């Protein structure tokens, strides 16, 4: 898998020609001119929001930025909790969350070798992300598997980004339609609840929608440049150009990279309708359950519209349902949640 997080000096690149391989990709971003982003969480998408128009959380917290797939799933989990996170920041990560991240890093290292590339602008950041997609797609076709593949697209009129956990080609080698897989880790050796599975289904369906849309639709480049305020004629740095040359491509401007990205998308096939969630035990990585399910376009659209109506400020956030009040026991905002004030039973 690959992740272009950005900082590969020319010397480091020469020392690690593995990045050149189409079957290996990854770049870690170290942003020379984006220290502000690193200090606020390391990702440019975490930069401070502009003054908000009243009502729309999208405008307040994601202006000129995309919604992440994790925003969608966190909202589906509990809208009120999502609002707390936006207003007050994410609570500290638990040990179980850290263990999950470590397992994903381990899975990533099985197929991806990271390299560092320095990016000096948003254009270069996106160029690296698109190159990670291109290299990941090449790896999928050549090796039959890739991990941590960045995807982007318009979903119901809103830009959305995500990182696909895993794509693998079918073992029969007949179909060219890749299988989308997401691995979740669990602290206890129990099977996931229906609420957890539903949340996982939504996540993987987001990835399928984004992947299939990239493959089947014309990437709306003009909208992309305009929405994210990017200059297509931006001249890439020598470091970025060298990194791109490792992939056998020759790009001078940001728009060149976007063109390669679009061409790559049109060489790929839609993903399979059957999607896969894997649940592993954190203690020993043993498999607890493999859960296969079908993509449901109608259900997905309904879910996305519900989530977006919250983000667009069309209505007040909802609390968890009566059946899912157990979620409140794990919520860091439970003491401040109005649901607790209105009932003595919660949390
Ligand atoms: S306490 Fe329950 S309803 Fe309130 S924010 Fe947390 S999970 Fe949501």
DSSP character string of 11-22: HHHHH-GGGGST
Q: Which residues contact 295 (CB under 8 A, 6 or more apart)?
A: 205, 208, 273, 274, 275
Q: Which of 308, 304, 279, 309 is nearest to 292 (CA)?
A: 279
- Atom 4, ligand 1: residue with shortest CA distance: 337
**Smallest CA separation from ligand 1 atom 7, residue:** 328
Entry pTM: 0.84
Structural domain includes residue 188: yes
How many Å apart are CA 149 and CA 142, to the nearest integer? 15
Q: What is the distance in A from the centroid of ligand 1 to the CA of 78?
A: 6
Q: Does the structure show a pLDDT above 60 at 241?
A: yes
Q: How far apart are CA 61 and CA 252, in angstroms?
A: 33
Cα separations in angstroms, 258 against 21, 126, 160, 247, 284: 20, 9, 17, 14, 41
Q: How far is the CA of 122 from the centre of ligand 1 (A)?
A: 35
The Å distance, Cα 87 to ligand 1 centre, comes to 14
For the chain, what is the mean pLDDT? 84
Strands (DSSP E) along the chain, which ranges? 4-5, 27-31, 67-68, 116-119, 145-155, 158-168, 179-186, 274-281, 287-294
Task: State whether residue 97 is helix, strand or coil.
Answer: helix
Domain that residue 201 falls in? 26-40+54-341
User: What is the number of domains present in the chain?
Assistant: 1
Span 83-135, pLDDT tens digits: 999 999 988 878 778 877 888 788 777 778 888 899 999 999 999 999 999 99
Give yes or no for residue 77 CB within 6 A of ligand 1.
no
Please give the distance, rounded to the nearest whole angstrom, from the Cα atom of residue 290 to the centre of ligand 1.
Answer: 29
Of the chain, the percentage scoring pLDDT greater than 90 comes to: 69
* Model confidence pLDDT, tens digit, residues 70-88: 999 999 999 999 999 999 9
337 lines ligand 1 (CB under 6 A): yes
Best substitution site from 339, 345, 346, 347 to test ligand 1's pocket, by max atoms within 8 Å of Cβ? Answer: 339
Any atom of ligand 1 within 6 Å of the Cβ of 79: no
**Is 268 within a domain?**
yes
pLDDT at position 100 = 78
Ligand 1: which of 334, 340, 341 to mutate, most ligand atoms within 8 Å of CB? 334
In a domain, 16, yes or no: no
Question: Is 328 part of any domain?
Answer: yes
Contact by Cβ (8 Å): 337, 80 = yes
| pLDDT computed for residue 43 by the predictor | 37
Tell me how far apart the alpha carbons of residues 143 and 187 are, in angstroms, rounded to a whole number: 31
Report yes or no on 181 lying in a domain: yes
User: Any idea what DSSP says for residue 317?
Assistant: P
2 inside domain: no
Residue with tokens 């593995």, as numbered in its chain: 18
* Residue 58 near ligand 1, beta carbon < 6 Å: no
What SS3 state is found at 179? strand
Could you give the CA distance from residue 326 to residue 179 in angstroms, rounded to a whole number?
33
Q: Quick check: 340 pLDDT over 90?
A: no
Contact 330, 97 (CB under 8 A): no
253-302 pLDDT tens trace:
999 999 999 999 999 999 999 999 999 999 888 999 999 999 999 999 99
CB of 328 closer than 6 angstroms to any ligand 1 atom: yes
Triad 200, 6, 252: Cα angle to 5°: 115
pLDDT band at 30; cut points 50, 70, 90 = low
Give burial (CB, 10 Å; 0-12/13-18/19+) of 331: buried
10 Å CB burial of residue 306 (0-12, 13-18, 19+) is middle
Report yes or no on 46 lying in a domain: no
- For residues 246, 17, 168 and 280, what is the CA-based torsion angle, rounded to 10 degrees? -140
User: Could you tell me if residue 7 is inside a domain?
Assistant: no
């Amino acid at each position: 898998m690959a992740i272009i997080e950005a900082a590969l000096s020319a010397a480091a690149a020469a020392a690690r020609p593995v990045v050149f391989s189409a079957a290996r990709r990854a770049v870690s971003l170290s942003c020379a001119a984006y220290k502000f982003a690193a200090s606020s969480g390391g990702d440019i998408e975490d930069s401070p929001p502009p003054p908000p128009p009243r009502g729309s959380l999208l405008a307040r917290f994601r202006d000129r930025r995309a919604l992440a797939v994790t925003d969608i799933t966190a909202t589906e989990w509990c809208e009120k909790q999502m609002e707390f996170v936006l207003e007050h920041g994410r609570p500290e990560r638990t040990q179980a969350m850290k263990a999950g991240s470590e397992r994903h890093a381990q899975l990533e290292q099985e197929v991806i070798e990271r390299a560092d590339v320095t990016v000096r602008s948003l254009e270069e950041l996106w160029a690296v992300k698109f190159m990670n997609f291109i290299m990941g797609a090449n790896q999928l076709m050549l090796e039959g598997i890739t991990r941590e593949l960045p995807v982007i697209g318009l979903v119901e009129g809103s830009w959305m980004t995500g990182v696909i956990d895993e794509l693998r080609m079918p073992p029969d080698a007949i179909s060219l339609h890749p299988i989308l897989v997401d691995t979740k880790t669990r602290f206890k050796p129990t099977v996931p609840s229906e609420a957890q599975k539903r949340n996982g289904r939504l996540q993987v369906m987001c990835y399928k929608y984004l992947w299939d849309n990239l493959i089947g639709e014309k990437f709306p480049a003009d909208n992309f440049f305009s929405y994210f305020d990017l200059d297509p004629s931006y001249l890439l740095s020598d470091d970025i150009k060298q990194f791109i040359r490792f992939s056998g491509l020759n790009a001078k401007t940001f728009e060149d990279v976007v063109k390669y990205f679009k061409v790559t998308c049109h060489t790929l096939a839609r993903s399979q309708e059957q999607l896969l969630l894997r649940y592993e035990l954190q203690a020993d990585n043993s498999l607890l359950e493999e859960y296969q399910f079908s993509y449901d376009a109608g259900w997905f659209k309904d879910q996305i519209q519900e989530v977006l109506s919250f983000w667009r400020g069309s209505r007040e956030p909802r609390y968890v349902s009566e059946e899912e009040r157990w979620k409140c026991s794990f919520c860091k905002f439970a003491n401040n949640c109005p649901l607790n004030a209105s009932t003595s039973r919660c949390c």
